């Protein structure tokens, strides 16, 4: 039987370099299914270890190339998909007979960068602009430009707007994570990391609000400088968070 073939590119779990493998595949709805048979050898193929570490992969098939999320199937779903493949191509039944391990079955869900990723990046860009405006307001206050009450009011307006927007954004994401983790279990470590980062940002957000309260009730330069230092720390933390989130959450949102 002539097998349908695709090229799967994974990222090396240790090397972080791309690795491309040619695999037989089957179709299941909007997904492509590949099988970690390794020709019946006792060890799983290297590409499976790679996608377990990073489920974001690239698929080339039929002249098309696109990003996808790889999800290892389990239980009844795995058994159905493998049985269907063995019925199409008896070689796969032979592979399973030749090894004591249960041959893993992996679903590849297309994740073409689209509206979800673009929207996430737009939200992050908006939060960056708000943070930049807030830092500018702190600098205006520290420079002693204009009337003090007006400078404090402007700073309070910018800071509360940014902190409120950031909190609302992360609260919405925390509500989405459990559903995405159920759909893409391979991404659970990424969602766990993002949740921890949200908690750290929320704690810093509370600290910023408390510092702002002190500044508005008893304004001192030292308090304003502390506020600026906290904002600078938050800016650095958020940049790393945004980069990681866009690489992992955006891909899952597009696939979903």
DSSP string, 18-29: EEEEEEEEEEET
Summary mean pLDDT of the chain:
86
Distance CA 53, CA 66 (A): 19
- Residues 102-130: what's their mean pLDDT? 82
**Domains of the chain and any CATH numbers:** 5-110 (2.30.110.10), 115-255 (1.20.120.520)
Instruction: Render pLDDT for 120-179 as a digit per residue (tens, 0 to 9).
Output: 887 888 888 888 888 888 888 888 755 556 777 777 777 777 877 787 888 888 888 888
Distance CA 192, CA 198 (A): 10
Q: Are 137 and 155 in contact (CB under 8 A)?
A: yes
**pLDDT score, position 83:** 96
**pLDDT score, position 159:** 79
pLDDT-derived band at 80 (thresholds 50, 70, 90) equals: very high
Distance CA 241, CA 219 (A): 32
Tokens of residue 86, six digits: 């063995």
**pLDDT score, position 108:** 92
pLDDT-derived band at 180 (thresholds 50, 70, 90) equals: confident
Task: Find how far residue 137's CA is from the centre of its chain.
Answer: 32
Closest CA to 180 of 90, 97, 107, 252: 252
Distance CA 173, CA 196 (A): 12
Distance CA 194, CA 172 (A): 13
The H or E element that residue 244 is part of is: helix 221-255
Stretch among 21-25, 27-31, 90-94, 251-255 having the lowest mean pLDDT: 251-255
pLDDT-derived band at 19 (thresholds 50, 70, 90) equals: very high
**pLDDT score, position 114:** 64
pLDDT over 60 (residue 113): no
**pLDDT score, position 240:** 92
Q: Where are the beta strands (DSSP E) in the chain?
A: 5-11, 18-28, 31-35, 56-61, 64-72, 105-110
Eight-state DSSP code of residue 185: G
* pTM of the model as a whole: 0.60
pLDDT over 70 (residue 190): yes
Tokens of residue 148, six digits: 């003090």
Counting DSSP H helices and E strands in the chain, the numbers are 7, 6
Eight-state DSSP code of residue 105: E
**pLDDT score, position 81:** 95
**pLDDT score, position 147:** 58
pLDDT over 60 (residue 1): no
Distance CA 245, CA 169 (A): 13
Percent of the chain residues topping a pLDDT of 90: 35
Closest CA to 245 of 185, 178, 194: 194
**pLDDT score, position 111:** 72
- Residues 42-71: what's their mean pLDDT? 89
pLDDT over 60 (residue 64): yes
pLDDT over 90 (residue 26): yes
Instruction: Render pLDDT for 203-213 as a digit per residue (tens, 0 to 9).
Output: 988 898 899 88
């Amino acid at each position: 039987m002539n097998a349908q073939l695709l090229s799967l590119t994974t990222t090396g779990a240790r090397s972080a370099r791309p690795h491309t493998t040619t695999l037989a595949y089957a179709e299941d709805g909007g997904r492509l299914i590949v099988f970690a048979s390794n020709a019946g050898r006792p060890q799983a193929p290297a590409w499976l270890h790679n996608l377990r570490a990073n489920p974001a992969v690239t698929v080339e098939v039929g002249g098309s190339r696109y990003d996808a999320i790889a999800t290892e199937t389990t239980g009844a779903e795995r058994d159905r998909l493998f049985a269907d493949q063995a019925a199409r191509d008896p070689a796969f039944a032979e592979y399973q007979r030749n090894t004591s391990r249960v041959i893993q079955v992996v679903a590849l869900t297309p994740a073409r960068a689209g509206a979800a990723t673009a929207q996430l990046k737009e939200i992050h860009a908006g939060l960056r602009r708000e943070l930049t405006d807030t830092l500018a307001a702190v600098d205006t206050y520290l420079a002693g430009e204009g009337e003090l009450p007006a400078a404090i009011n402007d700073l309070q307006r910018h800071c509360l707007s940014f902190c409120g927007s950031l909190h609302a954004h992360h609260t919405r994401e925390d509500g989405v994570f459990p559903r995405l983790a159920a759909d893409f279990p391979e991404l659970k470590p990424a969602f766990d990391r993002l949740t921890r980062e949200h908690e750290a940002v929320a704690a810093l957000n509370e600290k910023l609000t408390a510092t702002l309260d002190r500044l508005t009730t008893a304004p001192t330069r030292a308090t304003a400088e502390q506020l600026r230092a906290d904002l600078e720390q938050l800016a650095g933390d958020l940049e790393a968070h945004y980069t990681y989130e866009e690489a992992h959450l955006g891909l899952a949102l597009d696939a979903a």
